[in-house]
Amino acid sequence: MILGVSGGIAAYKACELLRRLTESGHRVRVVPTEEALRFVGEPTWSALSGQPVATGVWDTVHEVPHVRLGQEADLVFVAPATANVLAKAAAGLADDLLTNTLLTARCPVVFAPAMHTEMWEHPATQANVATLRSRGAIVLDPATGRLTGVDTGRGRLPEPSELFEAARLILRRGTQTPDLAGRRVLVSAGGTREAIDPVRFLGNHSSGRQGYALARTAAARGADVTLVAANVSLPDPAGARVVRVGSAVEMAEAMEAERRDADVIVMSAAVADFRPATSIDSKIKKSGAAPAPIELVENPDILAGLVASRDAEGSVQTIVGFAAETDDVIANGRAKLERKGCELLVVNQVGGGRAFGTEDNQAVILGSDGTAVDVPMGPKEDLADRVWDLVGRRLR
Ligand code: CTP
pLDDT tens-digit readout, 186-236: 999 999 999 999 999 999 999 999 999 999 999 999 999 999 999 999 999
The question of whether 204 is a catalytic residue gets the answer yes
How would you label 275-294 residue by residue, b for 16+ Cβ within 10 Å and e otherwise? bbeeeeeeeeeeeeeeeeeb
Q: By alpha-carbon position, which residue is closest to atom 16 of ligand 1?
A: 323
Ligand 1 center to 282 CA (angstroms): 30
> Which residues of the chain are in CATH 3.40.50.1950 domains?
2-172
Ligand 1 center to 14 CA (angstroms): 40
Q: By alpha-carbon position, which residue is closest to atom 3 of ligand 1?
A: 301
Alpha-carbon span 218 to 183, nearest angstrom: 9
CB atoms within 10 A of CB 172: 12
Alpha-carbon span 197 to 37, nearest angstrom: 53
The answer to whether the beta carbons of residues 271 and 302 sit under 8 Å apart is yes
Q: Is the CB of 323 under 6 A from ligand 1?
A: yes
**Second CATH level (architecture) for the domain 2-172:** 3-Layer(aba) Sandwich (3.40)
Q: Which atom of ligand 1 is nearest to the CA of 248?
A: 8
CB atoms within 10 A of CB 308: 12
Alpha-carbon span 72 to 2, nearest angstrom: 9
Q: Which atom of ligand 1 is nearest to the CA of 299?
A: 8
Ligand 1 center to 173 CA (angstroms): 32
Q: Is the CB of 206 under 6 A from ligand 1?
A: no
The 10s digit of each residue's pLDDT in 2-19 is 999 999 999 999 999 999
Higher pLDDT, 33 or 57: 33
Query: Predicted confidence band at 355 (pLDDT cuts at 50, 70, 90)?
Result: low
Q: By alpha-carbon position, which residue is closest to atom 9 of ligand 1?
A: 303
To the nearest whole number, what is the mean pLDDT of the chain? 94
CB atoms within 10 A of CB 328: 10
Q: Is the CB of 366 under 6 A from ligand 1?
A: no
Q: Is the CB of 271 under 6 A from ligand 1?
A: yes
Backbone angles phi, psi at 212, to 5 degrees: -65, -35
Q: By alpha-carbon position, which residue is closest to atom 4 of ligand 1?
A: 301
Q: Is the CB of 251 under 6 A from ligand 1?
A: no
Q: Helix H segments across 138-259?
A: 160-171, 209-220, 248-258
Ligand 1 center to 192 CA (angstroms): 12
* pLDDT at 65 (0 to 100): 79
* pLDDT at 146 (0 to 100): 82
Ligand 1 center to 270 CA (angstroms): 7
Higher pLDDT, 83 or 152: 83
Q: Is the CB of 189 under 6 A from ligand 1?
A: no
Closest Cα to residue 224, out of 210, 208, 207, 237? 237
The lowest-confidence range among 122-131, 248-257, 329-338 is 329-338
Alpha-carbon span 82 to 170, nearest angstrom: 21
Assign domain 184-395 one CATH number from 3.30.565.10, 1.20.1560.10, 3.40.1160.10, 3.40.50.10300: 3.40.50.10300
Query: Predicted confidence band at 352 (pLDDT cuts at 50, 70, 90)?
Result: low
- In this predicted structure, the answer to whether residue 180 has a pLDDT above a threshold of 80 is yes
Residue of 188, 273, 330 best suited for mutating to test ligand 1, as the one with most atoms within 8 Å of CB: 273
Q: Is the CB of 86 under 6 A from ligand 1?
A: no
Q: Which atom of ligand 1 is nearest to the CA of 302?
A: 7
Q: By alpha-carbon position, which residue is closest to atom 24 of ligand 1?
A: 273
Q: Among the options 84, 100, 128, 204, which is catalytic?
A: 204
**C-alpha torsion 195→198→199→200, nearest 10:** -20
Q: Is the CB of 269 under 6 A from ligand 1?
A: yes
Query: Predicted confidence band at 110 (pLDDT cuts at 50, 70, 90)?
Result: very high
Alpha-carbon span 195 to 276, nearest angstrom: 7
CB atoms within 10 A of CB 316: 9
Closest Cα to residue 243, out of 181, 192, 319, 189? 189
* pLDDT at 148 (0 to 100): 79
Q: Is the CB of 204 under 6 A from ligand 1?
A: no
Residue of 256, 267, 339, 347 best suited for mutating to test ligand 1, as the one with most atoms within 8 Å of CB: 267
> Which residues of the chain are in CATH 3.40.50.10300 domains?
184-395
Alpha-carbon span 39 to 17, nearest angstrom: 16
Long-range contacts of 90-93 (CB under 8 A, 24+ apart): 90/127, 90/128, 90/129, 90/131, 90/132, 91/128
Higher pLDDT, 175 or 234: 234
- In this predicted structure, the answer to whether residue 254 has a pLDDT above a threshold of 80 is yes
Q: Is the CB of 324 under 6 A from ligand 1?
A: yes
Please state the separation of Cα 188 from the chain's center in Å. Answer: 11
Q: Is the CB of 212 under 6 A from ligand 1?
A: no
